[in-house]
């Protein structure tokens, strides 16, 4: 792949390419070229990952007010499927951080689907964003090729871009686990079914341990394509688990992405 350039987008043609990416990723255009253009000019950021003159990824954020502070709300980031897992999402987030810091912004917030393990790996593991809220059916039923009609539950994350924690996460990456995940209690017991998808066997909502794990599938998109009923159950089950434990005083401390050591399984780590 030719080197990707991460830069602000300015031309109408480039904003049209962002519409094309949204269509290819979600099946519809949530933020029109006009809105991208006006946000870029008057109070926000539209970044692109450009490869050989083609925009293959984009990030859109606007100025917003949250908890009485001026922040950037990042409403969209997408990378075309053929260009994923090459660090473009990470590089766009880093470029966004630099621009926001230069504007005196200390916090970038956005939402993501807790069942999307790739997003969790990027947002929590790599960037060190903090989960602040669980919103059931955040956007209502909206036409999205990713959602496939499931309720659009979302975590709200706050990436405190000037904090020492975020800085050290970016500088040093994730440090080795100070605990052995295999010994931590599980809020959901799972098993692999005949289709090769994991399913919940039992939920545990009365744990009091300091660090319970919540397993999620590492292949949510494939599951939604092949077994929507199971994917719907995952939505209901994880909604129960996260709502319960966040209300009980736990927070999301980390995300353990799939690895050979974990047999390809991945987990949120909750912390009381």
Ligand X SMILES: CC(C)(COP(=O)(O)OP(=O)(O)OC[C@H]1O[C@@H](n2cnc3c(N)ncnc32)[C@H](O)[C@@H]1OP(=O)(O)O)[C@@H](O)C(=O)NCCC(=O)NCCS
Note whether 258 binds ligand X by CB under 6 A. Answer: yes
Task: Sort strands 69-79 and 107-112 into parallel, antiparallel or unpaired.
Answer: parallel
Q: What is the contact mask toward ligand X in residues 27 to 66, using x (rule: CB under 6 A)?
A: ----------------------------------------
149, 117, 139, 114: which is closest to 225 by C-alpha? 149
The number of C-alpha atoms within 13 Å of 62 and in the hemisphere containing its C-beta is 12
- Of positions 257, 265, 267, 269, contacts ligand X by CB under 6 A: 257
Distance in angstroms (rounded) separating the CA atoms of residues 147 and 150: 5
Nearest-approach distance from CB 184 to ligand X, in angstroms:
19
Neighbour count for residue 203 (Cβ, 10 Å)? 16
Q: Which of 38, 43, 54, 86 binds ligand X (CB under 6 A)?
A: 86
CB of residue 120 to ligand X, shortest distance in Å? 7
Residue number with CB closer to ligand X (33 or 57): 57
Sequence-distant (6+) residues with CB within 8 A of 40 are 8, 9, 10, 46
Helix (H) or strand (E) holding 89: helix 88-102
Rg from Cα positions in the chain: 19
Binding mask 170-209 for ligand X (x = CB under 6 A): ----------------------------------------
76 is a contact residue toward ligand X (CB under 6 A): yes
Q: How far is the CB of 242 from ligand X (least distance, A)?
A: 17
Binding mask 106-125 for ligand X (x = CB under 6 A): ------x---xxxx-xx---
Per the structure block, which two tokens stand in for 238? Answer: 């994880």
Q: Site residues (CB under 6 A) for ligand X? A: 25, 76-79, 84-90, 112, 116-119, 121-122, 126, 218, 257-258, 266
């Amino acid at each position: 792949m030719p080197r990707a350039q991460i830069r602000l987008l300015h031309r109408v043609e480039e904003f049209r390419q962002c519409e094309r990416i949204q269509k290819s990723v979600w099946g519809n255009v949530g933020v029109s070229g006009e809105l991208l253009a006006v946000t870029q000019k008057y109070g926000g950021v539209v970044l692109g990952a450009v490869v050989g003159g083609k925009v293959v990824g984009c990030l859109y954020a606007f100025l917003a007010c949250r908890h009485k502070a001026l922040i950037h709300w990042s409403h969209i980031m997408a990378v075309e499927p053929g260009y994923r897992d090459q660090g473009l999402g990470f590089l766009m987030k880093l470029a966004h951080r630099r621009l926001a810091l230069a504007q005196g912004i200390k916090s970038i917030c956005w939402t993501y689907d807790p069942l999307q393990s790739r997003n969790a790996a990027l947002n929590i593991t790599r960037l060190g964003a903090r989960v602040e809220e669980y919103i059931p059916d955040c956007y209502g039923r909206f036409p999205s090729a990713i959602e496939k009609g499931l309720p659009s539950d979302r975590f709200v994350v706050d990436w405190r871009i000037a904090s020492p924690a975020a800085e050290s996460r970016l500088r040093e990456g994730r440090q080795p686990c100070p605990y052995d995940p295999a010994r931590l209690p599980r809020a959901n017991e799972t098993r692999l079914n005949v289709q090769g998808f994991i399913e919940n066997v039992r939920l545990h909502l009365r744990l009091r341990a300091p660090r319970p794990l919540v397993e999620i599938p590492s292949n949510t998109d494939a599951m939604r394509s092949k077994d929507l009923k199971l994917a719907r159950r995952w939505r209901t089950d994880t909604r129960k688990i996260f709502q319960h434990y966040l209300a009980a005083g736990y927070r999301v401390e980390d995300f353990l992405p799939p690895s050979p050591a974990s047999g390809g399984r991945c987990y949120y780590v909750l912390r009381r």
